[in-house]
Amino acid sequence: MIHTAKNLIETILRTGGIKQTFRDEDAFDRVRTSPSAIILTAREKLEPDHRKAAKFESASRRYLRTKRFRRITPIEVTIFDRDEEKVDDWIRLLLAELPDGIDDGQGNYTPLRPKEIEWIPDQKDRAAATVFIEFEWGIYTDRELGKIEQVQVNNITVEETSP
């Protein structure tokens, strides 16, 4: 799933005109062409979460989907260009085009939340800034709900009430 989020960010940047995107930390030393970007993930948080997420039907059976864990993955997008104004233009493009969330392929909504921007000082002949995006997704389990096949009523009593 994290691959899908990184691909979305890369597509937004490439469509906007960024020539090169990298996905490893070693690229910080290799990046020379402008504009370019590095997309990394940082340490992920895992939190128990036992909320009921959805009820759904599949093949005439009913299921209850429960979220077992919340996974919060920070994505760091570092953008390089010749000057700060151009880097700022790329950041505005990314933030304007980034959706609020995406589908994880199993019908679950996964939010993408930009959190902060950090400008990197002392860059030789280039400017750089990192956009921190929080990607929240989960681990879900589906449990089949029981099905009532037959109901039998043995006795019905009606009582009259007086006003």
Q: What is the DSSP string of 114-147?
A: EEEEEEEP--TT-EEEEEEEEEEEEEEEEEEPP-
51-59 long-range CB contacts below 8 Å, 24 or more apart? 53/108, 53/138, 53/140, 54/107, 54/108, 55/145, 56/107
b/e map of 117-156 (b: 16 or more CB within 10 Å)? Answer: eeeeeeeeebbbbbbebebbbbebeeeeeeeeeeeeeeee
Residue 33: predicted pLDDT:
65
List of the chain residues with pLDDT < 50:
none
Residue 140: predicted pLDDT:
79
